[in-house]
């Protein structure tokens, strides 16, 4: 029997107009497809515009997600990591998960878990003003009372789903910006107490525990124009907070991406080894498909990961598979950015440039080994 890998792709749940509060950013009512559809080349050779082969679909439609789940599974992606938000005392952008994914007839064939994207929400999402205005609309940092409200919602709404992804039976929950988490809760000790409460509340509600994961950043990151979130903090402090594992969200978070994709891969391998050396808990290898967030701006934004052809992405996927094979004592989890980050030019979904090339690369590396 072939070895099974958990290949998890992040989902940016903004490709719908069903969330009323998105209209302030994308008034046409199609979510951030509005920015994708209006994207054009900023210089000779710039590979925009790109068009989705599946069309500008509403990912809060269960019929659409049924198709996407089927395509993901047939190409070796068997876990979705949903970016999840809590702003202004309530969830934001849950429609794609609640109305699309969870109502798809085949959703139970696919695992999912949440990454709390707890960065500030600002004018980055509004292409009309993103080049000239940087105003915070909603704060990502949350005080303890609000943290408890948000996490109670997560436990009751999502951790109880039969297809929620677990490690050792414990639901996995990722936190994107740990510095913002600590800021909101009031310090390292206060954050540790909040994490203890979170674990205890999971147990109180009948769950076998909680697997806390965080998104790793690094001071090596450059060209961060238009990137949400903060920097990394010392390994010892992560240990104090009681995290169980870490992974990355994007290559741009830890290395200079204004280069050829193949020139970045040695930095990726070195970062994986650094994390294994410095942290006492598992690191799950991460692969980014690309980086170019010019679709979110009218003017040109430097910092573009070049030569992101499917055959080069496949090299990174092989690296991740080899890392998983070399660490048999940890779950064979690999994260990919992303399923659909079109405005950051880092997606697996098929387009008019490479067709199904990215998905086929995943299938070649992982699909043949899946159960």
- Give the three-class secondary structure for 3: coil
Residue 283: its pLDDT value, please? 97
Mean pLDDT of the chain: 94
Read off the pLDDT of each residue in 17-35 and give the average, rounded to a whole number.
97
What's the CA gap between 191 and 185, in Å, rounded?
A: 6
Residue 158: its pLDDT value, please? 98
Residue 230: its pLDDT value, please? 60
Digit-coded pLDDT (tens) for 249-294: 999 999 999 999 999 999 999 999 999 998 889 999 999 999 999 9
The residues, ordered by sequence, that sit 6+ positions from 328 with a Cβ below 8 Å of its Cβ are none
pLDDT band for position 224 (cuts 50, 70, 90): very low
pLDDT band for position 370 (cuts 50, 70, 90): very low
Question: CA-CA distances (angstroms) from residue 304 to 38, 46, 122, 242, 312?
Answer: 19, 10, 22, 35, 15
The residues, ordered by sequence, that sit 6+ positions from 81 with a Cβ below 8 Å of its Cβ are 8, 9, 10, 11, 112, 113, 114, 115, 174, 335
Q: What is the CATH number of domain 6-369?
A: 3.20.20.80
Digit-coded pLDDT (tens) for 149-180: 999 999 999 999 999 999 999 999 999 999 99
Residue 218: its pLDDT value, please? 78
pTM to 2 decimal places: 0.96
Residue 238: its pLDDT value, please? 76
- Whether 234 shows a pLDDT value over 70: the answer reads no
Give residue limits of the domains in the chain. 6-369
**Do residues 87 and 55 lie in contact, with contact meaning Cβ atoms separated by under 8 Å?**
no
Could you tell me which of 1, 328, 332 has the C-alpha nearest to residue 167?
A: 332
Find where tokens 């092989």 sit: 318
């Amino acid at each position: 029997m072939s070895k099974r890998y958990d290949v998890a792709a992040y989902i940016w749940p903004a490709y719908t107009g069903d969330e009323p509060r998105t209209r302030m950013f994308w008034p046409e009512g199609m979510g951030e497809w509005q920015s994708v559809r209006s994207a054009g080349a900023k210089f000779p050779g710039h590979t925009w515009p790109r068009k989705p082969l599946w069309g500008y679909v509403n990912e809060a439609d269960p019929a659409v997600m049924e198709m996407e789940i089927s395509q993901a599974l047939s190409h070796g992606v068997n876990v979705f990591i949903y970016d999840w938000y809590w702003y202004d005392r309530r969830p934001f952008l849950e429609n794609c998960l609640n109305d699309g994914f969870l109502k798809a007839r085949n959703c139970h064939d696919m695992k999912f878990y949440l990454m709390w994207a707890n960065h500030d929400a600002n004018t980055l999402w509004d292409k009309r003003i993103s080049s000239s205005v940087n105003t915070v609309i909603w704060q990502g940092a949350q005080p303890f009372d609000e943290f408890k409200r948000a996490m109670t919602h997560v436990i009751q709404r999502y951790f109880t789903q039969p297809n929620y992804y677990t490690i050792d039976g414990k639901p996995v929950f990722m936190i994107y910006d740990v510095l913002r988490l600590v800021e909101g809760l009031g310090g390292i000790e206060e954050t540790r107490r909040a994490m203890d409460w979170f674990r205890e509340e999971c147990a109180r509600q009948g769950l076998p525990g909680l697997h806390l994961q965080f998104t790793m950043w690094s001071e090596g990151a450059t060209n961060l124009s238009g990137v949400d979130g903060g920097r990394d903090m010392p390994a010892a402090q992560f240990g104090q907070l009681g995290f169980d594992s870490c992974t990355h969200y994007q290559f741009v978070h830890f290395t200079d991406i204004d280069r050829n994709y193949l020139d970045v891969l040695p930095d990726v391998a070195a970062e994986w080894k650094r994390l294994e050396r410095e942290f006492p808990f598992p690191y799950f290898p991460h692969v980014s498909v690309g980086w170019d967030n010019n679709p979110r701006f009218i003017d040109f934004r430097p910092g573009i990961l070049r030569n992101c052809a499917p055959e080069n992405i496949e090299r990174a996927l092989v690296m991740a598979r080899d890392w998983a094979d070399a660490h048999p004592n940890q779950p064979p989890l690999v994260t990919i950015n992303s399923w659909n980050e079109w405005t950051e030019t880092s997606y697996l979904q098929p387009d008019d440039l490479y067709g199904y090339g990215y998905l086929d690369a995943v299938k070649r590396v992982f699909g043949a080994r899946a159960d």
